[in-house]
Amino acid sequence: MPMEIEQALIAVLIPLIYLVGGYITMFAKQKLNIMKESYYKKELEELIVTAVGAVEQTFVRELKKEGALSRESQHEAFVKAYEEVRKQITERADKVLQQAYGDYMTYIQNRIEAVIDERK
């Protein structure tokens, strides 16, 4: 093979290899981010279900026994569950969830209400 053709191939192939490597790296990072988002969303869902269950067992059942379950106490139970979820979210999870979903606190509130409705 003539020397000029080899040099031309090298001049084309080296930048092409870098370009393909860059795309592969970008794709891998996107895939990893999607996996992290999915993992933390699943963890968040488990936190919500656990918090609602704990508040129901320790607070709501006692109020029901006493016949003191009112709108105010229901709101208090909601706040307790919400605060428990917020306490359990790690800094890393918070960062990933904010990047993925922006203000995900509304999502937490809506999911708490949905879990409560599912348990009724």
Looking at the 3D structure of the chain, how many domains does it have? Answer: 1
pLDDT at 62: 83
Which pTM was predicted? 0.75
Per-residue pLDDT reduced to its tens digit, 6-32: 888 888 888 889 999 999 999 999 999
More confident residue, 21 or 101: 21
Is the confidence at residue 89, as pLDDT, over 70? Answer: yes
The pLDDT of residue 1 is 60
- 4 in a structural domain: no
Q: Is residue 43 part of a domain?
A: yes
pLDDT of residue 111: 94
- The pairs formed by 48-52 with CB atoms below 8 angstroms and a separation of 24 or more are 48/81, 48/85, 48/108, 48/111, 48/112, 48/115, 49/115, 51/81, 51/82, 51/84, 51/85, 51/88, 51/112, 52/81, 52/112, 52/115, 52/116, 52/119
User: Looking at the domain assignment, is residue 18 inside a domain?
Assistant: no
Q: What domain range is 114 assigned to?
A: 36-119
* 100-115 mean pLDDT: 92
